[in-house]
Amino acid sequence: MSFDSNSGGKWWCGLVCGLFATAVRAEEAVASEMVTLDSIMTAGGWTLRLIMLLSAVALFLTIYFLFSFRSSVLLPRSFMDEIGQAAEQGDLVRLKTICGDHPSPAARTIAAAAEQVEISGQVDYFAVRDAVEDEGGRQAGALWQRLQYLLDIAIVAPMLGLLGTVLGMLRSFADLQTEIGGVNPQTLSQGVAQALITTAGGLIVGIMAMILYSVFRGRLAGLIAGMEEACNRIMRLFINNFWKKQP
């Protein structure tokens, strides 16, 4: 099979030209997309920028909740093993020491119960239970307060979108009043574009934030219930073994 250098050169040049044309078209597509995104941000105005800022905050909170709303954070296994051994021994001093070495919500809850025993000088089941419930409620309230920020974004984002809609329509009507001898479609479309873009942006961010809030709400409720049950179980075990040690 013979190889014609002339035809081979043409084939090579055609391939290079084709690849170059493809690269040029890809670059033009990227540039067109960037221009479109820039035009959207420009048309949306400052309300759309605030909505984008809220979306960034919602993304940060989502990542934070993924790492913080876990059983290994709220109720570490190493802590439960150590505190379980102290409860089986009925050792109040060791119980407080272990709780002081762990900054988890479960440790703070059990520490409050241990402090109640130390202050009262007696082991009363009902007093210990009330201490666990009170401190557990405070720890749970702090966790719910963090999650509340995501719900606030879900409420505020659509309201900002509605504000952008009103501002966009006011802008269109203002342009209509200033036009003499006819209506300029460009000035009219700018206000309408702002209204539609901000509405869509606010709804998208609000819907996504509400979905994420619902997911984390169910997850957090289960974690808090498990934490309170584990703390009550530890304190019941401590009380039983404490009385067994008494002469």
pLDDT tens digits, residue range 133-150?
888 889 989 999 999 999
122 and 204 part of one domain: yes
How many other C-beta atoms lie within 10 A of the C-beta of residue 144? 14
111 and 220 part of one domain: yes
146 and 97 part of one domain: yes
14 and 124 part of one domain: no
19 and 124 part of one domain: no
Number of domains in the chain: 2
Give CA–CA dist 219/213, Å, rounded. Answer: 10
22 and 63 part of one domain: no
147: in domain: yes
Percent of the residues in the chain that have a pLDDT greater than 70, as a whole number: 69
41: in domain: no
111 and 204 part of one domain: yes
206: in domain: yes
94 and 195 part of one domain: yes
Helices (H) and strands (E) in the chain, counts: 7, 0
Q: Which domain holds residue 11?
A: 1-36
94: in domain: yes
107 and 18 part of one domain: no
19 and 117 part of one domain: no
174 Cβ contact partners less than 8 Å away, ≥ 6 residues apart: 191
53: in domain: yes
pLDDT in tens, 151-183: 999 999 999 888 877 777 776 666 665 555 555
26 and 78 part of one domain: no
> Which pTM was predicted?
0.73
Q: Let me know: does 188 contact 175? Beta carbons within 8 Å.
A: yes
25: in domain: yes
pLDDT band for position 74 (cuts 50, 70, 90): confident
pLDDT at position 166: 79
86: in domain: yes
pLDDT at position 36: 62
42: in domain: no
97 and 152 part of one domain: yes
pLDDT at position 149: 93
Which is higher by pLDDT, 48 or 66?
66
